[in-house]
């Protein structure tokens, strides 16, 4: 690229593969993780495993990538520099809101053998406390009454209904979201919705469908304008919507697919296992649990990113304390894995200054994330008679955060499907005890028995946050 001249737009260099995977919720994470693994597997072992992405709501990604024929860039932020990569596995992007029938048609295509999902926790239209489908969710109410769905579970059920009616095999439905036993959860919400629509369809899905659980891991911060400029400088092309990611990546998948049909992911480093649960619990509790803890406490303490938070000695000691004393004792390690070495690796990844993962970004949708990331660990600790003041402080920090005002009284832009309800519950009481009690009454987040056990320790932690501030409250836990 000549100095002073604008870079040419990124374009596709290779022929498109026939679509074998439809991905619901094509966002930055999957484009920086599963799509790259799939591109590598197809390049190494062959197969028609092109990906058609589906955006359930926004046309932003389709509009940005269509002029590039859906090619895009990955930019790896390593401690020693950045490495650009061209990715050409996505063949098309559909916007469900604009044309739901087109989405159903591609999902019902016999060449499609896998429908994968990264729709975030709230996209499953379930109760986070129980994992069961929420039949009163507005999208589910709509999808029970209409052939053209709006929810991800609705699209799965209606597309499987089309395949069943046409005598086709079902596709494998594979969740790639941070949920415990995400395959089992997805199977449960799909079967529940299918049963409400057509019991015979539900029986067929139960018998013939497959819902493998997965564990995904890679830190993918939001792309900023300066990242796009840096990519242009390094690669010599302009990409309207690249993805940024750390060098580390991991994908563990239960090897349970309809008719065994899947890309050769194992050839490119994916761990294909019979039981993903130990990996999943390890990652959800050790990575996601501490990520959320650092997000709420770090934001309240004034830190913009996770690496900034880890640069503070008190916060860094706190996260190591959480792993050593409160989280690892609740886990059974996967075969051949040292949880202590895993914690050391996580600390190194968190501290990578090249990855500017904002605490505000990680704090989003906490009502959907809290049960599996933190509450499950707390429940296990209480059952075993272990105290967990650090995680109690993290829960209190979430409650302080969703009140909508930070420690200096400045407003917090709380992004959560229950944001208005959370604010109202917090505002319904004047003191720490009342605010904690009001938020613990939220049954979609806190099971009654656990809520009762949390009242006293979380109230104490909340008071410490209010009276001393987040950083001082963290230091107190460490003393």
- For residue 214, report the phi and psi dihedrals to the nearest 5 degrees: -140, 160
Helix (H) or strand (E) holding 19: strand 19-24
Among 317, 313, 398, 318, smallest CA distance to 359 is for 398
pLDDT at 290: 98
Q: List b or e across 153-185, with b for residues whose CB sees 16 or more CB atoms inside 10 angstroms.
A: bbbbbbbbbebbeeeeebbbbbbbbbbbbbbbb
> Tokens 């439905």 — which residue?
173
Q: What is the pLDDT of residues 271-295, one digit of tens each?
A: 999 999 999 999 999 999 999 999 9
Among 65, 55, 176, 41, smallest CA distance to 116 is for 176
Q: Exposed/middle/buried for 48, CB within 10 Å: 0-12, 13-18, 19+? A: middle
Beta bridge partners of 76: 83, 245
Fold of the CATH domain 277-478? 1.10.1040
| Diameter of the chain measured on Cα atoms | 66
CA distance 455 to 326: 19
pLDDT at 1: 47
Residues in contact with 209: Cβ distance below 8 Å, sequence separation at least 6, in sequence order: 160, 170, 172, 173, 187, 190, 258
Residue ranges of the chain whose pLDDT lies below 50: 1-3
**CA quadruple 181, 419, 389, 385: dihedral sign:** negative
CA distance 320 to 312: 13
> Taking the domains of the chain in order of start, what are their residue ranges?
8-273, 277-478
What is the SS3 assignment for 459? Answer: helix
Q: 209 with 160: CB under 8 angstroms?
A: yes
Beta bridge partners of 273: 254
Fold of the CATH domain 8-273? Rossmann fold (3.40.50)
Beta bridge partners of 305: 358
Residue 436: both structure tokens together: 């904690």
């Amino acid at each position: 690229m000549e100095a002073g001249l604008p870079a040419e737009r990124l374009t596709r260099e290779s022929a498109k593969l026939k679509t074998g995977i439809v991905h619901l919720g094509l966002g930055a994470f999957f484009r920086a993780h599963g799509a790259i693994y799939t591109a590598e597997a197809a390049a190494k072992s062959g197969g028609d495993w092109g990906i058609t992405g589906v955006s359930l709501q926004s046309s932003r990604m389709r509009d940005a990538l269509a002029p590039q024929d859906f090619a895009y860039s990955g930019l790896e932020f390593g401690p020693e520099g950045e490495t650009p990569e061209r990715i050409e596995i996505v063949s098309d992007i559909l916007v469900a809101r604009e044309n739901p029938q087109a989405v159903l048609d591609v999902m019902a295509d016999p060449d499609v053998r896998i429908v994968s999902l990264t729709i975030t926790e709230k996209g499953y239209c379930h109760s986070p406390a129980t994992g069961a489908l929420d039949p009163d969710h507005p999208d589910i109410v709509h999808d029970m009454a209409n052939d053209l769905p709006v929810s991800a579970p609705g699209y799965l059920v209606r597309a499987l209904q089309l395949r069943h009616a046409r005598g086709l095999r079902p596709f494998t439905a594979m969740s790639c979201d941070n949920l415990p036993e995400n395959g089992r959860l997805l199977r449960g919400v799909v079967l529940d919705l299918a049963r409400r629509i057509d019991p015979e369809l539900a029986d067929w899905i139960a018998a013939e469908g497959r819902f493998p659980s997965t564990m995904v891991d890679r830190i993918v911060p939001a792309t900023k304008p300066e990242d796009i400029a840096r990519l242009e400088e390094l690669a010599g092309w302009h990409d309207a919507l690249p993805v940024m990611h750390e060098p580390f990546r991991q994908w563990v998948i239960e090897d349970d697919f309809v008719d065994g049909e899947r890309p050769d992911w194992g050839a490119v480093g994916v761990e294909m296992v019979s039981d993903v649960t130990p990996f999943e619990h390890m990652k959800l509790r050790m990575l996601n649990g501490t990520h959320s803890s650092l997000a709420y406490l770090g934001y309240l303490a004034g830190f913009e990113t996770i690496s900034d938070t880890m640069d503070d000695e008190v916060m860094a000691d706190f996260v190591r304390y959480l792993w050593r004393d409160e989280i690892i004792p609740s886990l059974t390690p996967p075969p051949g894995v040292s949880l202590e070495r895993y914690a050391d690796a996580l600390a190194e990844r968190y501290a990578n200054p090249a990855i500017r993962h904002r605490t505000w970004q990680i704090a989003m949708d906490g009502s959907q994330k809290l049960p599996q990331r933190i509450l499950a660990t707390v429940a296990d600790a209480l059952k075993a008679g272990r105290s967990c003041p650090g995680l109690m402080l993290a829960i209190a920090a979430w409650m302080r955060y969703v009140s909508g005002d930070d420690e200096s009284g400045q407003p917090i832009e709380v992004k959560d499907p229950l944001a208005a309800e959370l604010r109202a519950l917090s505002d319904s009481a004047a003191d720490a005890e009342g605010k904690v009690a009001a938020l613990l009454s939220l049954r979609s987040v806190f099971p009654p028995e656990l809520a009762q056990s949390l009242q006293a320790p979380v109230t104490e932690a909340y008071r410490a946050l209010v009276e001393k501030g987040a950083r001082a409250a963290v230091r107190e836990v460490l003393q």
